[in-house]
Structure 1
Amino acid sequence: MQIHILAFVLGVVLLQQQASLPAISWAWALLPGAASAFLLCRSHEPVFTTAGKVLFAAIFLSAGFFWAAAFAQWRLSDALPQEWEGRDIQLVGVVAELPQVNERSLRFVFDVEQAFTDGAIVPKRISLAWYGDRGTDTKTEPLQVNLPHVNAGERWRLTVRLKRPHGSINPHGFDFEEWALEHNIRATGYVRESDENVRLNDRVNRPSYQIERLRQKIRERFTQALPDHAYAGVLAALAVGDQRAIPAEQWQIFTRTGINHLMSISGLHVTMVSGLMFALVYWAWRRNGRLTLWLPARKAAAVAGLLAALGYALLAGFAVPAQRTVYMLAVVATALWWRRFTSATMILTWALLAVTLFDPWAVLSPGFWLSFGAIATIMLVSVGRIGRMHWITEWARIQWAITLGLIPALLAMFQQVSLVSPIANAIAVPLVSLVVVPLTLLATLPLLDFMLLPAHAILSGCMDLMQWMSDLPHAVWNQHAPPMWAVAAGLGGIIWMLLPGSLGFVRGFPARWLGMVALLPMFLSLPPKPGPGDLWLSVLDVGQGLAVVARTENHTLLYDAGPGSGSESDSGNRIIVPFLRGEGVKHLDAMVVTHADTDHSGGALSVLQAVPVKWLVSSLSNDHPIQLAASKKQRCQAGETWQWDGVQFDMLHPSEQSYSNSRLKTNALSCVLKISTVHGSVLLPSDIEKQSEYQLLAQAGHTLSSTVLVAPHHGSKTSSTDEFIHRVNPRLVIFTVGYRNRFGHPKDAVVERYQALGSRLLRSDADGAILLRFADDNVAVETSRALRRRYWHDVLELTNNSYH
């Protein structure tokens, strides 16, 4: 049966890799296939029996494939029509989940009950941001944002503007559209300012809303009990699963030390709560004869332990690790109830089936693979082993095995592995799981808030050690993303290394050291790179902004760093750094920050903090934070030129005189860079406008002709003059724009100019990252949305990208 379950899960995984959904009608073919398999298995001939088993496995694989396809068809059918994007719609619904507060807005999931706007079609579940009113600006006080007060489980009437889920698509990047589909977020938007935005009901009595209301109350109590305490957010995450309450700098410590699984609701915590409840009920139940005669103590304890696990998991948001643990405990409780022996692998397999049955998109989550991978590793090194060892030795072996066993998955998904993880976990797991978590859970009960103070004190001491370990120079191994065949080989090698060795007269598996050889391809199979004289140009999809990575044989340049979206998140740490790490770029030889506008400079500080940058070139003022953070810097200026690996770099703008003109806007100081190869050239004009274009025509007109042009100022009407684009005469034009951006870029008139010129047009909101390779006397063009096409992207075609 385990083989059939694994085949079903494999079918679910295969469906999530498809570019389009299959017709569900093909699922009817499973019925005759299943009948044939049943008849073959009943045959007395071994060859027919084997064929029947293989066919049964294929049937289960197909069943998993079509099960996931049916879920996907059902969820995708609840979509926002394109004609209702960007229009005011009045809705009545309920705040469905714990609201999240950030610097400028309040964000929450909204279950739509009714749309009052005539003809409006709105999905049942949407995500809304409600931006606050800015208070009065004074000279002594910073500008305050007054956010609305919204609670989970409240019914509201709101006027909103919506759009379909849309995110950036980049190599090695996060796919927001995938995440939105898994979480059943079928539209995103914001609340419009209106006098008709009113709370209709303080409390909607539905179990899921009541749970969310309880989570919010506990979070508020924690915040009040621990004002100005550094790790209050961590304790809230341990109690109610609110991981967004943890600041980014603390998450970095957790990631670098490999204990991030402890700072959320992990399976270990759920199991601990369940085990504690099992022991308490078992101890108390067996001391009452009447209760024992009515129901055996072991059965009562099993039910109590399962209910405790389910309650804690629901309180914590029911993430994949918590789901997996609850399903595993359900299998154990069922076995105890029916007094049947169940193997550890069977428990894990049935939990795997339950997770994929209820949530077919769980297989896309890193937590799915890390959670089940960790449990499988523990079983591999502990279940069925002969001989006993000291508990400290056993604990150390399990920690070492988990660290080793998760290396392939961590390198494939995050391109980094914590080298201090075994030691950090050996310290943090007992402290957090056995001390901090119980105290925190007791503090969720009324009148026990004082428990948070010792919990915080112990956690603070633990974090001091973690901070020290995180700051060690080689705490983390970073590298490129290994190819999938190397990941598979590494996984096989680790399994071979962890198999039982010889013990006394019992022979184990021979030559386990050969597993180390299978690990080598993950580290030695380097990603491809440009040849001599070649240029690889990656125009990243950063929304309404610009970030371009130019690579030659031995050098890398970053041209602009995309927009910033908050104090803890920007294009640098969300898009650029993961891209560089995944491509194996360990440092930047130069970073050009063309001007001070945040859609071009917003991610620069994050890049400087994460990646060594040899040389900063910019038009920024000397006191700008980016300038202060750089060790070697230089002003960009027309006439600057250099060569890397046979590729020519020429700075064409601004002139030296431009810096002395105080009337010029920041756009007019944009650094214009031309990169030339024997295979073609690219012009990067950033945000220059008409006057700067005329200046370029006058001073460097003979150098402007280029194969590829990144459209000036995102295709605004203040740029791309006829004279300029005719002089450049590009074969390919790229618009770097955000989906449904508020500026309306690119403007229709600008698009028509380039079309009249005969240029091929691409845009980042429709195509994702645009990857260019200047080699072999040609320019090869690929787009991330074409390379990473998945079925959930199909509904996001733009009406105005017909000019591809």
Structure 2
Amino acid sequence: MEKWLFGMALGISSSLFWPDLPASQWGWSILLAGGVAIVRYRFPGAILFGLGWAILFFNHEVFWLKEQRIPFPAQHELNVMVSSAHQKSDHLQLLVSVQSINGKSYWPEPRIKLTLSGKKTDLNRGDRLRIRARLKIPHGLGNPVGFNAERWLLGQGITATGNISSFKLVYQAEHNWRDRWLMQSGQLMQGFRQPELLMALIYGEQQDVDKADWQTLRDTGLIHLIAISGMHIGLIAWIGMALSRLLLQRWSDHFPYIHWLSGMGFALLYSALADFSAPTVRSLCMLVIWIALRFWQREWSGIRIWLSALAIMLVINPWVVFSAGFWLSFIAVGILGIAGFLWRKPSLWQIQWLMTLLLLPVQLLLFDGLSISSVLINLPAGPWFTFSIVPVALVSGLLVPVFPSLAHLGFWLCDIQLDWLMLALEWIQSWCPGWVAISHHQQLLVLWGLITVLIWWCSPVIIKKKPGLLSLAGCGLLFTGCQSEPDWQVDMLDVGQGLSVLISRDDRALLFDTGDAYPGGYNMADAVIFPMLEYRGIRYLDYLVVSHRDKDHAANWKRILAKYPQTRIISSSALTADTLICQRGQQWWWGKLQLTILSPRSSSGGDINEDSCVLRINDGQHSVLLTGDVERKAEAELVRLPKSVLQSQILSSPHHGSKSSSTPDFIAAAAPEHVVHSAGYQNRWHHPHPAVLSRYSQSQQWITAADGMVSFEFSQNNSVIRPFRRLQPWYRQMEAWLVDDQPLK
């Protein structure tokens, strides 16, 4: 049975890596083949069965996007029911289930995340709305590091996002029991120091937790203690069984399973309070299996229960394969099982070390870094949460509607402890930052090193059965360590509607423009630039070129300068007292790279597009031309330069591909082989303009909104182009499916 369950889970999980989503016809064929094969060949047949099921499921779920031609038309008429509503500083975020789109209904109802900008609006779960909205597929920034919006949205089953232009309230629902429970809990926590963390710990309401607190918890390796886990469900079930034994003991002779059912009832109640989040459902599923085995008087191994819960959740809702929390939850439980297998009664120290070691690949994959202090901090913090904070918090949460005064006391005790914890973590971080960002090359070394260590650890068994594995792992580690790096590279970052270009050589870099920043605090420095500098292993940012003062080019220069205070700023505007003002003719060497300023002749202050610094980078064989937002007038002056000065192999299109730039004369003079248009997805200016795309017909063109970050790697006699999205799985390339009007094959 274990092979069958593992094969099913493996087949569905493979969807994380598919380059394309095969058509439904392939799904039916593979499902049928798996059903036939499973009779004789359980494991391969189960893999095929899971693969076919996943193909059919995902095709069915995204079919409506194709039929409604998202994102066309520009506005869609929707009838929706609100699933959740969260008020932010300047907008309202809604998660809705769509009952009809442009008059057509679908089953199951699509889940869409919508944004309503402007004044505060009071909408609640269960409200029915008729809205007009512009929709788009799940789409985020396409960079190798930073937040993976597509995976996060799909992990929640959200198949589109959008902005509401108008709405009408059709039906106003009353607050349901969960909303009233949470509102009463919030009132009892008024005046507390850590109410947001308490709500996250008890009910899984994480949206209001301060970003700085999340960062602190992540950096110290304690974020898993705040998230709802199997410990919560197990503790609640134990409380239910204990109360049953106390109050219903006289009935146990007539109903021998009444205590188990009571524990199950409490677990269901708490799962509903936690809104049936993925880790909660996982734990609930394992509890149901365990109680069912007690009813049937059967004994299953821990691995069979674990695989059963995994397979059931993947079959019921394959979208969870994209949820990081789902995998972290299951892997953590699996590691606990491994610890029990290795040591029978493992100590907390052994569990913590094993958890840190085996979660390391997942941590690198999701966060591109490691918490070096997590082991030492978790040793005291783990028991503190397990035996003090979590039990009191959960019991207090259950007492809210029954004994509110007692619940308030419990919340107060937990709030004091959480506040002490956060103060202690901040103090620890002030002395020793717990988080270490790791470059891409270092990540590969760490992963190969981990594989080698694990094989060596198990060497008595491995060498006897598979002697070549240790040699293979050692060769992989040696190959990664000796792998040559390019002489220099250019990363045209995907920063939405804006521009930021990273030029790096060894551990040094030059940054051209900084992308945008937004009122809510979201900015491209934290979201893209800093993670990319760490990903490339950059230690020194030698130059920061700010082409001009437009917000989508210059919004983050202060933030970058604060982190890299030794950086030399070059700009058409006097941003600091020692800013080098761009002026045609300036030229200097940066290692083996020649940097030349081609425009402006003289800056008028950096407030207009024509003031943009134009920078040419050349190594004698390869050249890159970065143009900012120059328009026709500046282009006309550039065309007068000698052809050898302006002509470049790679060009960032002026003004994001606006039709007011990229004149035919300029294009002919620059004669680029590759043109990168840095523009936001579905931006309101329609950059790059179709007329501009046709003007560059002799060049290979890339658009960051569709292709993501475009990297150019240069060696002595070689250059390599890496468009990020074209190397990614199907769920990060859905734009090509929509634009090309081709089926997901």
Q: With structure 2 as the length reference, what TM-score do the two structures score? A: 0.87
More displaced 10-residue stretch of structure 1: 546-555 or 740-749? 546-555
**Equivalent residue for 1:62?**
48
Change beyond 3 A, Cα 1:666–1:225: farther
Asked whether the equivalents of residues 248 and 568 of structure 1 are also in contact (C-alpha less than 8 Å), the reply is no
C-alpha distance in 2, partners of 1:708/1:337?
A: 69
- 2:313 equivalent to 1:361: no
Change beyond 3 A, Cα 1:241–1:119: closer
Query: Please, which of 531, 538, 554 is the counterpart of residue 578 of structure 1?
Result: 531
Query: Please, which of 587, 594, 619 is the counterpart of residue 571 of structure 2?
Result: 619
Change beyond 3 A, Cα 1:83–1:282: closer
Asked whether the equivalents of residues 543 and 570 of structure 2 are also in contact (C-alpha less than 8 Å), the reply is no
Query: Please, which of 182, 192, 195 is the counterpart of residue 165 of structure 2?
Result: 192
C-alpha distance in 2, partners of 1:84/1:121?
A: 18
Query: Please, which of 733, 741, 745 is the counterpart of residue 687 of structure 2?
Result: 745
Change beyond 3 A, Cα 1:646–1:215: farther
Asked whether the equivalents of residues 492 and 518 of structure 1 are also in contact (C-alpha less than 8 Å), the reply is yes
Classify the secondary structure of the residue corresponding to 2:421: helix
Asked whether the equivalents of residues 480 and 527 of structure 1 are also in contact (C-alpha less than 8 Å), the reply is no
C-alpha distance in 2, partners of 1:705/1:191?
A: 45
**Equivalent residue for 1:85?**
72
Query: Please, which of 425, 429, 448 is the counterpart of residue 466 of structure 1?
Result: 425
Q: For residues 365-404 of structure 1, what are the alpha-carbon distances to aligned partners after superposition, in whole Å with 9 as ceiling and x for unaligned?
A: 3333322222222222224745x68xxxx22222222122
Asked whether the equivalents of residues 730 and 759 of structure 1 are also in contact (C-alpha less than 8 Å), the reply is yes
Q: For residues 264-319 of structure 1, what are the alpha-carbon distances to aligned partners after superposition, in whole Å with 9 as ceiling and x for unaligned?
A: 22232232222222333234332x2xx112211xx222222233333323322433
1:199 deviation in Å? 2.0
**Equivalent residue for 1:413?**
366
Classify the secondary structure of the residue corresponding to 1:200: strand
**Equivalent residue for 1:207?**
none
Classify the secondary structure of the residue corresponding to 2:594: strand
Asked whether the equivalents of residues 595 and 618 of structure 1 are also in contact (C-alpha less than 8 Å), the reply is no
Classify the secondary structure of the residue corresponding to 1:651: strand
Query: Please, which of 144, 148, 164 is the counterpart of residue 175 of structure 1?
Result: 148
Q: For residues 502-537 of structure 1, what are the alpha-carbon distances to aligned partners after superposition, in whole Å with 9 as ceiling and x for unaligned?
A: xxxxxxx9xxxx99x979977994595644xx4311
- 2:594 equivalent to 1:648: yes
Asked whether the equivalents of residues 619 and 669 of structure 1 are also in contact (C-alpha less than 8 Å), the reply is no
Q: What are the equivalent positions in structure 2 for 1:341-490 lying under 5 Å apart?
A: 341-383=299-341, 385=343, 394-441=347-394, 442-443=396-397, 445-446=400-401, 447-448=404-405, 450-451=408-409, 452-481=411-440, 487=447, 490=450
Asked whether the equivalents of residues 189 and 408 of structure 2 are also in contact (C-alpha less than 8 Å), the reply is no
1:221 deviation in Å? 4.4
Change beyond 3 A, Cα 1:300–1:369: same
C-alpha distance in 2, partners of 1:354/1:782?
A: 38
Q: What are the equivalent positions in structure 2 for 1:322-337 lying under 5 Å apart?
A: 322-337=280-295
**Equivalent residue for 1:202?**
172
Classify the secondary structure of the residue corresponding to 1:737: coil
Classify the secondary structure of the residue corresponding to 2:226: coil
Asked whether the equivalents of residues 549 and 558 of structure 1 are also in contact (C-alpha less than 8 Å), the reply is yes
Asked whether the equivalents of residues 680 and 777 of structure 1 are also in contact (C-alpha less than 8 Å), the reply is no
Q: For residues 75-118 of structure 1, what are the alpha-carbon distances to aligned partners after superposition, in whole Å with 9 as ceiling and x for unaligned?
A: 11121633763533333221112x12222211111222234x57
Amino acid at match of 1:153: G
**Equivalent residue for 1:45?**
none
Q: For residues 392-446 of structure 1, what are the alpha-carbon distances to aligned partners after superposition, in whole Å with 9 as ceiling and x for unaligned?
A: xx22222222122212221233221212112322333333344333444424623
Query: Please, which of 219, 229, 242 is the counterpart of residue 205 of structure 2?
Result: 242
Asked whether the equivalents of residues 38 and 44 of structure 2 are also in contact (C-alpha less than 8 Å), the reply is no
Change beyond 3 A, Cα 1:228–1:615: farther
- 2:9 equivalent to 1:9: yes
Classify the secondary structure of the residue corresponding to 1:562: coil
Asked whether the equivalents of residues 356 and 363 of structure 1 are also in contact (C-alpha less than 8 Å), the reply is yes
Q: For residues 715-756 of structure 1, what are the alpha-carbon distances to aligned partners after superposition, in whole Å with 9 as ceiling and x for unaligned?
A: 11332233332322222211111121101112233233323x
Asked whether the equivalents of residues 127 and 188 of structure 1 are also in contact (C-alpha less than 8 Å), the reply is yes
C-alpha distance in 1, partners of 2:551/2:483?
A: 33
**Equivalent residue for 2:121?**
148
- 2:728 equivalent to 1:788: yes
Tell which has more relative contact order, 1 or 2 (C-alpha 8 A, sep 6+).
2
Change beyond 3 A, Cα 1:598–1:760: same
Classify the secondary structure of the residue corresponding to 1:96: strand
C-alpha distance in 1, partners of 2:379/2:44?
A: 43
Q: What are the equivalent positions in structure 2 for 1:601-612 lying under 5 Å apart?
A: 601-604=554-557, 607=560, 612=564
Change beyond 3 A, Cα 1:798–1:3: closer
Change beyond 3 A, Cα 1:315–1:469: same
Asked whether the equivalents of residues 680 and 707 of structure 1 are also in contact (C-alpha less than 8 Å), the reply is yes
Asked whether the equivalents of residues 70 and 136 of structure 2 are also in contact (C-alpha less than 8 Å), the reply is no
Asked whether the equivalents of residues 225 and 382 of structure 2 are also in contact (C-alpha less than 8 Å), the reply is yes
Classify the secondary structure of the residue corresponding to 1:590: strand
Q: For residues 150-186 of structure 1, what are the alpha-carbon distances to aligned partners after superposition, in whole Å with 9 as ceiling and x for unaligned?
A: 1111112222222233222222344323333332323
Identity, in percent, stands at 28
Amino acid at match of 1:310: L
Classify the secondary structure of the residue corresponding to 2:281: helix
More displaced 10-residue stretch of structure 1: 363-372 or 762-771? 363-372
Change beyond 3 A, Cα 1:520–1:478: farther
C-alpha distance in 2, partners of 1:592/1:498?
A: 52
1:594 deviation in Å? 2.6
Classify the secondary structure of the residue corresponding to 1:187: strand
Asked whether the equivalents of residues 399 and 426 of structure 1 are also in contact (C-alpha less than 8 Å), the reply is yes
**Equivalent residue for 1:263?**
226
1:500 deviation in Å? 12
Asked whether the equivalents of residues 530 and 536 of structure 1 are also in contact (C-alpha less than 8 Å), the reply is no
**Equivalent residue for 2:60?**
74
More displaced 10-residue stretch of structure 1: 319-328 or 459-468? 319-328
Corresponding residue pairs, total: 727
User: RMSD of the TM alignment (CA)?
Assistant: 3.6
**Equivalent residue for 1:94?**
81
- 2:693 equivalent to 1:730: no
Asked whether the equivalents of residues 559 and 591 of structure 1 are also in contact (C-alpha less than 8 Å), the reply is yes
Query: Please, which of 113, 117, 125 is the counterpart of residue 131 of structure 1?
Result: 117
C-alpha distance in 2, partners of 1:453/1:470?
A: 26
C-alpha distance in 1, partners of 2:33/2:637?
A: 74
1:217 deviation in Å? 4.2
Classify the secondary structure of the residue corresponding to 1:349: helix
Amino acid at match of 2:264: L
Amino acid at match of 2:612: S
**Equivalent residue for 2:195?**
232
C-alpha distance in 2, partners of 1:682/1:127?
A: 39
**Equivalent residue for 1:143?**
none
Asked whether the equivalents of residues 76 and 133 of structure 2 are also in contact (C-alpha less than 8 Å), the reply is yes
Classify the secondary structure of the residue corresponding to 2:617: strand
Change beyond 3 A, Cα 1:325–1:780: same
C-alpha distance in 1, partners of 2:519/2:705?
A: 21
Amino acid at match of 2:682: R
**Equivalent residue for 2:502?**
549
Asked whether the equivalents of residues 201 and 228 of structure 2 are also in contact (C-alpha less than 8 Å), the reply is yes
Asked whether the equivalents of residues 548 and 607 of structure 2 are also in contact (C-alpha less than 8 Å), the reply is no
Change beyond 3 A, Cα 1:686–1:86: farther
Amino acid at match of 2:215: Q
Classify the secondary structure of the residue corresponding to 1:158: strand
Change beyond 3 A, Cα 1:35–1:519: same
More displaced 10-residue stretch of structure 1: 369-378 or 216-225? 216-225
Q: What are the equivalent positions in structure 2 for 1:288-299 lying under 5 Å apart?
A: 288=250, 291-296=251-256, 299=257
